[in-house]
Structure 1
């Protein structure tokens, strides 16, 4: 199957709306053509600066304007972060992602500390990823020089639905940050969240935006909303596993070489439901007891799932993104 960047919304809609078993079968077939289906990358996501964010993302418990149970803490010390990265590596993670509740990166001592964190994690031989909000091209280059492998900046939803979820930055702001990351030759991690009150057409539009970028994101997280009390979306119903499977299989078919990451919401899924997602084309999970500030399955439960499903952790620095990184 050739890699295409000229998908139309109509083509993606036709794929997304196929009978579910047919869609899973095609996702699985494409997955086998481009990836090792028994390999799933295990990533760890750590909140290095929590809460107090000035943005108004309706799903996020870290927004300062919402009354949630999230405790605000300043940027962690470099040594503490490197210790947590080492523990993540020892428990099987090959990618370590650091998230800070900032609207944008500022050129100050905190950014210098993040650069030191990147250098330290990179020296361990792990893929190092950051998600720090909006980023200039110069800042992206500094992170690249420090050894940053990937930068996460999700679209969250479609451009049309975006204003219903966030008003403190624009969709173009997100696309500009992704372009700055791409220009610095850093691997792009960008996906979205389902369960935000969007329509199927919104989901299809978001996938269309990702699949028609000049290069597909090397990593596409598919998140199911975990509703948090105190946020505007606290009453949203649980996302159906079939909706997750449709998103994962469609993403796999239109972006065959991307790492499709089964991300937030896994804690509410059974092993059987997660197995369907792996079958449909997901080949990465986030491990650890928390995803930033929301609950996640325990490491031992994931190890047991890997054993049951005969999955093995994917090594770091594999695939097209790694070839570019090593060059």
Structure 2
């Protein structure tokens, strides 16, 4: 435990928090959020699919799996110049983190990976926090990404360890945890969360939050995704996720991991501004901006800007924690 943060939550404690009356839960989460974060500040991230479709995995929710007929066209790895052009537009629109996603099962040591390393260097030089989600990584590959300037790596757990095999059979939960461990060892910040609406129980959601909140170091970023039901995937007929389930997940995540960025991720396109406001009140302080999340719809930049103005929110600056540490070091030198 450090700074009042806990990594020893029990399943029963999390269950008690998760099952609190909703208004009481949101009030508690909002109070903790205010203690640890600037509640008016939201990290704005942009996600670009740099290699689309044709994935060999069988993730039941994913339109990019080659075995499902979803209408997603396969696109080879994008050119660096095109990626940097997207990153520049995202930066001008207010994004401070740029995430590049490739529909790979795992990273292979080949020319494509070398090209991604070059893209990471390019985005980093633009003064943006650069993130990647490329599938499984070895320790050596994670270190190469770190050396290129990677700031964060996204690798979601998706759901609880108990429900995982109902959603994915082509890789194990332990393999996901190993990739996260490799990322952490390389000194890259961890972005890891999951999806609700996969057909899981409330106990599964609590189980996933238990895994995240008892990691030796909480993920710096925790995306909470509502399933986007895509025609052609096995989950296309699942019911729409209830907004209050999203609020409950975000609030619980905020209480368990007070300093993490809790990201209101996939599913925002189906939410009203009022519903999103509840999520921000419950402790969400990060969103994906731009009209697409890999291959699924997302609110446009101008819609988000209007919402920020209405709710009195502002984009978080890039590298905020690093700037804060540097300022503290300078002040300690000045005062010594």
**TM bucket by the smaller chain?**
over 0.9
- Offset of residue 322 of structure 1: 8.1
- Offset of residue 172 of structure 1: 0.2
Equivalent residue runs for 1:145-164 within 5 Å: 145-164=147-166
- Structure 1, gaps ≥5 residues long: none
Give CA-to-partner distance per residue, 1:139-193, whole Å, 9 cap, x none. 0000000000000000000000000000000000000000000000100000000
Q: If you compute each CA radius of gyration, which structure gives the higher value, 1 or 2?
A: 2
| Alpha-carbon distance between aligned partners in 2 of 1:169 and 1:251, rounded to the nearest angstrom | 26
| Alpha-carbon distance between aligned partners in 1 of 2:174 and 2:323, rounded to the nearest angstrom | 24
| Alpha-carbon distance between aligned partners in 2 of 1:299 and 1:259, rounded to the nearest angstrom | 20
Change (3 A) 1:321 1:247: farther
Match of 2:146 among 122, 144, 147: 144
Match of 1:207 among 209, 222, 226: 209
1:314 corresponds to: 316
1:180 corresponds to: 182
Secondary structure at the counterpart of residue 167 of structure 1:
coil
| Alpha-carbon distance between aligned partners in 2 of 1:318 and 1:9, rounded to the nearest angstrom | 32
| Alpha-carbon distance between aligned partners in 1 of 2:251 and 2:160, rounded to the nearest angstrom | 18
- Offset of residue 82 of structure 1: 0.6
TM-score, normalised relative to structure 2 = 0.95
Contact 1:218 1:321 in 2 (8 A): no
TM-score, normalised relative to structure 1 = 0.98
- Offset of residue 85 of structure 1: 0.3
- Offset of residue 319 of structure 1: 2.8
Give CA-to-partner distance per residue, 1:285-313, whole Å, 9 cap, x none. 00000000000011111010001001001
Is 1:22 aligned with 2:32? Answer: no
| Alpha-carbon distance between aligned partners in 2 of 1:322 and 1:198, rounded to the nearest angstrom | 40
- Offset of residue 323 of structure 1: 5.0
Is 1:298 aligned with 2:280? Answer: no
Equivalent residue runs for 1:262-273 within 5 Å: 262-273=264-275
- Offset of residue 318 of structure 1: 1.7
Secondary structure at the counterpart of residue 297 of structure 1:
coil
- Offset of residue 320 of structure 1: 7.1
| Alpha-carbon distance between aligned partners in 2 of 1:46 and 1:253, rounded to the nearest angstrom | 30
Q: How many residues align?
A: 325
| Alpha-carbon distance between aligned partners in 2 of 1:315 and 1:21, rounded to the nearest angstrom | 31
Is 1:101 aligned with 2:86? Answer: no
Task: Please identify runs of 4+ aligned residues in structure 1 that moved more than 3 A.
Answer: 320-324
Contact 1:187 1:321 in 2 (8 A): no
Match of 2:74 among 62, 72, 75: 72
Equivalent residue runs for 1:239-250 within 5 Å: 239-250=241-252
Give the root-mean-square deviation of aligned CA atoms. 1.3
1:230 corresponds to: 232
| Alpha-carbon distance between aligned partners in 1 of 2:68 and 2:208, rounded to the nearest angstrom | 26
| Alpha-carbon distance between aligned partners in 2 of 1:318 and 1:175, rounded to the nearest angstrom | 27
